[in-house]
A and B are shown apart, each in its own frame.
Chain A
């Protein structure tokens, strides 16, 4: 701890925590400095946001409510917060709406990225995660400084349960209509696919997988595929 830049060490620890690899010592260090250094908290917040975008989590619907909730919680805790002096409360007032604005703008950017990618012809290689982070994250990173001023009450600020891998199954296949000349991509995609169509797709995918189970040498892999979307595939 005596060697190396103090700030670098903190950043390193923060990255480690982000990756779930922080040691007990690092955690203590972060908790200790987190409440004192706004920069650190801000960085954490940005990391989380960027990670969310990269994981393709829907930042849009979830975050504004969450941010409001956090803001309310901070409001309630404010009297206990010895650090939030004049500047802190000023940031509270001025900072909240840009925070919200930034978030929703980022979310719109991310959503747009999905839509744009869905419209692209080369569909076997869509990488919404990457694109989302390219479009969404830098912007968020650039504009995020405002909000975090107010997030004085750490350790609670550090506790963000962030699952890294989603284990939710998606029943419905992702649909991509053939692009028609003259029809804007957006309008085509926004239409909800007819239930009849999804049922048909589920049915043929299941029938295909069942059949593939005994003409290929892949063992039971096709059977693993045959069970997705089963609820709809009757």
Chain B
């Protein structure tokens, strides 16, 4: 535990970056005619400064997707910032105040809702503990098969520029290569690489969720800003969050590009976390009461939860797949949960 925490933090980030860039050749130059299944959300319909074209010279560094994604990983983990953010999901608009600081190599995050019910959360320790899980050793096996097929999970396209929160940003579209994940539009701050806007897009280009800064402050965060403002603020200790516990459960089907990044043991079952570097879903297998034997989905913004049951040796388990993924994917995943043979 302590050993893994001494890893430099950006190692985890660079691993995620590598996950994102499973097919490095897949860049803007290869963009097909813009008739894909994902249509541009309104935000991307603005004048594009860097229109991808055919037969262009190798670009300057700032024109490559790798450059920007690298910058993104570094910024997300290491930058101190605060700001005001709007968070929109299916007709609801919320406003938040966010603080992000780095203390002793670990991220400390504080989120305060400024609208609706007063809510607040403070998270400690994000970042370092996941190194072991997304390790370079595991990488080769995981990815060789994918590389063999010659396709990553997403098609990355630079979409020009846009001004967000009074700052210049670069727009990157991550267009899914299959129907098992959602599309993402990210606006990265030109100066720091911090995502200032992020949009999740479903099939038919429907915007499911939008997270957007209205004001950004890059000055260092004081300790006072990381203190909870209310007594009932939720505290999250993420230091143990990425431990990979033992589990008897496995998925019979997993879309290309996803890999298991964490397993946790809960009081009443197991929790398995999967990611393709950009999107994340979690599989819960729990022994719950018969009142929770429910089959169906619940949707909140871009987050879908699909509930199902699995029976093993006469015992009923409740399976819940939660994630920012298409609901058909969640349903199929839930149906594929099984106990490892021989356990």
Contact surface of A with B, Cβ cutoff 8 Å: 55-56, 123-125, 127, 129, 165-171, 173-178, 194, 196-197, 200-201, 204-205, 207-231
Contacts and interface: CB of A to CB of B under 8 A. Distances in A.
A211 B241 contact: yes
A205 B203 CA distance: 22
B92 A169 contact: yes
A163 B91 CA distance: 13
Interface string B191-217: 000110010001110101001000000
Contacts of A129: 91
Given A166-B91, A215-B134, 5 more contacts: A168-B92, A173-B299, A207-B271, A214-B12, A219-B195
Contacts of A194: 291
A109 to B, nearest CB: 20
B151 interface: no
Contact of B303 (A168, A200, A208, A231): A208
B296 A218 contact: no
Contacts of A124: 202-203, 206, 208, 299, 304, 326-328
A216 B211 contact: no
B169 interface: no
Interface in B42-80: 69, 72-73, 76
22 contacts: A123-B299, A167-B95, A173-B299, A173-B300, A174-B298, A175-B297, A177-B295, A197-B292, A204-B282, A204-B322, A205-B322, A208-B280, A213-B126, A214-B107, A214-B241, A215-B130, A217-B76, A218-B195, A219-B195, A222-B280, A223-B98, A230-B119
A51 B174 CA distance: 34
Contacts of B273: 208, 211-212, 215
Contacts of B251: none
A189 to B, nearest CB: 10
A165 B93 contact: yes
Contact of B123 (A165, A196, A210, A229): A210
A200 B298 CA distance: 11
A194 B294 CA distance: 10
Interface stretch (B30-38, B110-118, B136-144, B152-160): B110-118
B113 A227 contact: yes
Contacts of B130: 214-215
Contacts of A178: 295-297
A230 B236 CA distance: 13
Given A168-B116, A173-B298, A125 B289 contact: no
B91 A220 contact: no
Contacts of B73: 217
A208 to B, nearest CB: 4
Residue of A208, A213, A214, A218 ringed by the most chain B CB atoms within 10 A: A214
Nearest to B242: A214
Interface in B298-335: 298-301, 303-305, 307, 318, 320, 322-324, 326-328
A204 B91 CA distance: 23
6 A-B pairs with the lowest CB-CB distances in the bound complex, closest first: A169-B116, A177-B296, A173-B298, A212-B280, A208-B282, A208-B322
A225 B300 CA distance: 9
A216 B297 CA distance: 23
A129 to B, nearest CB: 7
A171 B280 CA distance: 22
Nearest to A209: B303
B269 to A, nearest CB: 10
Contacts of A197: 291-292, 294
A229 B322 CA distance: 15
Nearest to A212: B280
Contacts of B109: 213, 220, 223
Contacts of A220: 85, 98, 100, 109, 111
Nearest to A230: B119
Contact of B115 (A167, A215, A216, A219): A167
A225 B115 contact: no
A222 B328 CA distance: 21
B275 interface: yes
A209 B234 CA distance: 13
B274 to A, nearest CB: 9
Contacts of B280: 208, 211-212, 215-216, 222
Contact of B121 (A173, A221, A227): A227
A216 B127 CA distance: 10
Contact of A196 (B195, B289, B326): B289
B340 interface: no
Q: Which of A174, A196, A219, A222 has the most CB of B within 10 A?
A: A219
A200 B203 CA distance: 28
B195 A176 contact: no
Nearest to B72: A217
B296 A169 contact: no
